[in-house]
Chains A and B, each alone.
Chain A
């Protein structure tokens, strides 16, 4: 491992994930690079099916196999080689160094164990606490996420959706992980609860110096919590940079489309401008740029050549052939 990984909590190089099903091979992730510094928050943005969740699962080595096949040049977390780690050791990393908050709190908790037991389990595994001490810490964790510790003996069905998500967050943070992956943590929640949960996560992240990957399709959330952003489309990263880069100096037509499909608060009567069409079939990806069929700037060459992610500024990268033309710029609505 080179020197550059030492300063990174996460270093992923050329990650490829495909699902080999009976109906064909699903190309979920087609070679992505991700790097994240300590205490930074990365926003992984893209529409459903872009490969965001699969990318997260691959980092935890939890892609179901079969049918999943993961290939990667480098995958390190906190300088440790995750890729070649024996599975028994992987159990020590999961929940301790890296943990995950899942999208749907309704199904993420085991219905037959109390929430206290579910939080305590992770402390018993990683901190080797006995049951009583672990339960005591579990009650403290509940208090930390804003649930009275006395409810540790209750079962998931006795909690509301927002409270369940707080429990899931408590489980993920119980052993103070170095990297927290939050997979659309607020998508299944009420709008009013969303803000609360988000604020809770950012406060706890600050408090414990945790690095975070926020997977979302909500650009508002990205603006609020992220330092760096990677925009994913059809298993590729199409634009990457600091929050400033991606939000204020948008380069990729797909990113532009994402912004344009947001409601405009200054002109409430304006129609939403969705991106036309659907994402290409992942079992049969087009030979050229995957966004070409939906792209209004598409050139003839885009049909045959898939662009590389190339620098577009000191911290900014974009994968779009149109920039090879002199003076090309997108006409993003601000």
Chain B
């Protein structure tokens, strides 16, 4: 198992290098010379060339890429064209906000979706199933900026329970953005939970559990749910990866200073180092999330664990 984790961590290196290269190449292909967004309009040719060297925009794409990777290894993602601040520092200031919102949204999603999905599956084709599925559909089709605005209207403006924007108010300020973000995520996970549970509730081993006197509640919560978890965890992982990249709409509605806004603002301002840096960091987080999800699989399902133990990566084995 530990060997598997080490192998997966080593696999991170080529992934990050190629992602950095792809982002680099795309940014390079974008129209216009970024130097002009920095120097003043009446700058001389010498001034422009000086600025180019200062910004690290001289040399071929490959040369610049390797220079960037060299910095990346030391934790240096360059300096923003706009704010002139260190990109890593800026990103790290925003990241805790995004992580908080991501975690809170996932908690909301789990609390809604797991019970709803189980109720729907256990009472398949009943009224409870129908209600659960309508709720899921509602969550799925409701645009979350709109839901956010509705929540602000009711809970901030009318009732005054929660602040309408910002992040300074601790737990109170995260509740509305988390609910807004979480309901959309919950919709997917409710469906995943339902279909996965439907597969499991007809399995013979539940009958064995009932036959030895396990209560129906425990049959569902312990014996069935544990077996239904793999697909649910998969969906969870995908959605968590998505929110790690930031939720631009929710961040905008609630003035939540997360990574999503950072990237969108940087794109608008053609702030290439910030865009590249933020994307590389997000890729790293997503890859690490995937690894964590794979490790969780092994603890949920022993069959997967023994698979991990048996075979390493082919690339690795040949040596």
Residues of A within 8 A of B (CB): 60, 62, 87-88, 91-96, 99-100, 102, 104, 107-114, 118, 121-122, 125-126, 155, 157-158, 168, 171-172, 174
Interface digits, B223-250 against A, CB 8 Å rule (1 contact, 0 not)?
A: 1001100000000000000000000000
CA A38 to CA B198, docked complex, whole Å: 40
CA A118 to CA B213, docked complex, whole Å: 12
Instruction: Give the chain B neighbours of A172 by CB distance below 8 A.
Output: 211-212
Instruction: Give the chain A neighbours of B227 by CB distance below 8 A.
Output: 110-112
Q: Would you give the shortest CB distance from A56 to chain B, in whole angstroms?
A: 10
Stretch of B52-60, B199-207, B271-279 contacting A (4+ beta carbons < 8 Å) = B199-207
CA A107 to CA B223, docked complex, whole Å: 13
Known: A107-B205, A108-B204, A111-B227. A94 touches B211 (CB 8 A): yes
Q: Would you give the shortest CB distance from A233 to chain B, in whole angstroms?
A: 25
Q: Do B205 and A126 touch (CB < 8 A)?
A: no
Closest to A90 in B: B213
Q: Does B300 contact A (CB under 8 A)?
A: yes
Instruction: Give the chain B neighbours of A95 by CB distance below 8 A.
Output: 211-214
Q: Does B215 contact A (CB under 8 A)?
A: yes
For chain B, the bracket of interface size reads: 20 to 34
Main DSSP-derived SS at the B contact region? helix
Q: Do A96 and B213 touch (CB < 8 A)?
A: yes
CA A118 to CA B206, docked complex, whole Å: 12
Q: Does B303 contact A (CB under 8 A)?
A: yes
Instruction: Give the chain A neighbours of B209 by CB distance below 8 A.
Output: 110, 121
Nearest 5 pairs of A and B residues by beta carbon? A95-B213, A95-B212, A107-B204, A122-B212, A155-B302
Known: A107-B203, A112-B302. A94 touches B208 (CB 8 A): no
Q: Do A110 and B205 touch (CB < 8 A)?
A: yes
Q: Do A171 and B205 touch (CB < 8 A)?
A: no
Q: Do B211 and A99 touch (CB < 8 A)?
A: yes
Instruction: Give the chain A neighbours of B205 by CB distance below 8 A.
Output: 107-111
CA A158 to CA B227, docked complex, whole Å: 17
Instruction: Give the chain A neighbours of B213 by CB distance below 8 A.
Output: 91-96, 122, 125-126
Q: Do A111 and B302 touch (CB < 8 A)?
A: yes
CA A171 to CA B205, docked complex, whole Å: 12
Give the residue of B208, B215, B216 whose beta carbon is less than 8 angstroms from that of A110: B208
CA A104 to CA B300, docked complex, whole Å: 24
Known: A91-B213, A96-B213, A122-B212. A104 touches B306 (CB 8 A): no
Give the residue of B203, B210, B302, B306 whose beta carbon is less than 8 angstroms from that of A62: B210
Closest to A109 in B: B205
